[in-house]
Amino acid sequence: MKSKLKMLNSKTTKGWKIGLGSAALIGSMVAGPLGTSAAETNPGFEVSSQTTNAQVSQLDVIKRELRKYTSVKAAEKAGYTKLTDFVPQMGYHYTNTAAVGTDLPNILLYAPVNGVLTLVGAEWGTADPNAESPIDGTNFNLVHKASAHYTDGSEMEWADPTTVPQTNPDTGATLDQWHPDLYGMHVWFLDNPNGTFADMNPALNNVIGHEDLRP
């Protein structure tokens, strides 16, 4: 199979380099262990019927490549670092700058499933609004407006990096980093009522039970 995932051009790669650098500043594939069927581990985890045959084939390529990252420990050993705490309907974000310019997602999504922190999704991140999605029939969506992030965890939307306040006027915290508009393209293998490639997956709330869990 000649997968689109193997035909990413330099223009797209350039966009991802910008994007992952920015995403790293701020911060499915499977419900159970990759290599086992969803039904064998967590019933109800499956590729959405909304996907086309071409998309399923492309997702199979990604699934094989990400088999090694089923556990967070394996991902961390490979250079993925925690980007966010648990985000409702998305999970914990782990990012790896080494994935920039490759076919693999630069962000992995983990959530506690049946008591085990599990790889449930992935995301390609970019600051390039014209970046081409690696999956047929999908597009990048704006997922985070340009913002200034401060050392106390606060943030403010701020479009111009040359005028960004060096301290948060509300909290007094020092500027940690700024990033431009960020675009993302998600993929889920937990059947998502919003669609396999939607940004949010409300089904996660029912599976994990507790959104305040930490790895």
Q: How confident is the model at residue 100 (pLDDT cuts 50, 70, 90)?
A: low
CA–CA separation, 27 and 103 (whole Å): 20
pLDDT for the residue 196: 86
pTM comes to 0.68
H helix or E strand, kind and range, residue 39: helix 38-41
pLDDT for the residue 73: 92
Report which residue type is found at 161.
Answer: P
Q: Where is pLDDT greater, at 138 or 6?
A: 138
Burial class (CB in 10 A: 0-12, 13-18, 19+), 43: exposed
pLDDT for the residue 26: 32
- The torsion angles phi and psi of 119, rounded to 5 degrees, stand at -70, 115
CA–CA separation, 192 and 201 (whole Å): 6
Average pLDDT, the chain: 73
| CA-to-CA dists, residue 20 to 62, 98, 104, 149, 195, angstroms | 18, 9, 12, 16, 24
CA 61 to chain centre: 17
pLDDT for the residue 101: 61
Provide the 8-state DSSP code for 202: T
- The torsion angles phi and psi of 82, rounded to 5 degrees, stand at -70, 130
For the residues 104-133, what does the mean pLDDT come to? 88
pLDDT for the residue 213: 42
Instruction: Please give the full DSSP string across 91-147, using - where no structure is assigned.
Output: BEEEE-GGGTTSSS-SEEEEEEETTEEEEEEEEEEES-TTPPPSSTT---EEEE-SE
pLDDT for the residue 50: 61
Q: Where is pLDDT greater, at 22 or 146?
A: 146
**Whether the predicted pLDDT of 148 surpasses 90:** yes
For 12-31, the three-class secondary structure string (H helix, E strand, C coil) is HHHHHHHHHHHHHHHCCCCC
**Whether the predicted pLDDT of 30 surpasses 70:** no
**Whether the predicted pLDDT of 123 surpasses 70:** yes
Summarize pLDDT for 161-214 with one digit per residue, the tens: 999 999 999 999 999 889 999 898 998 877 788 988 899 999 887 765 444 444
Q: Structure tokens of 143?
A: 């997922």
pLDDT for the residue 195: 87
**Whether the predicted pLDDT of 99 surpasses 90:** no
pLDDT for the residue 208: 57
Contact criterion met (CB below 8 Å) for 31 and 189: yes
Which of 25-34, 60-69, 77-86, 87-96 has the lowest average pLDDT? Answer: 25-34
- The torsion angles phi and psi of 63, rounded to 5 degrees, stand at -60, -45
**Whether the predicted pLDDT of 150 surpasses 70:** yes
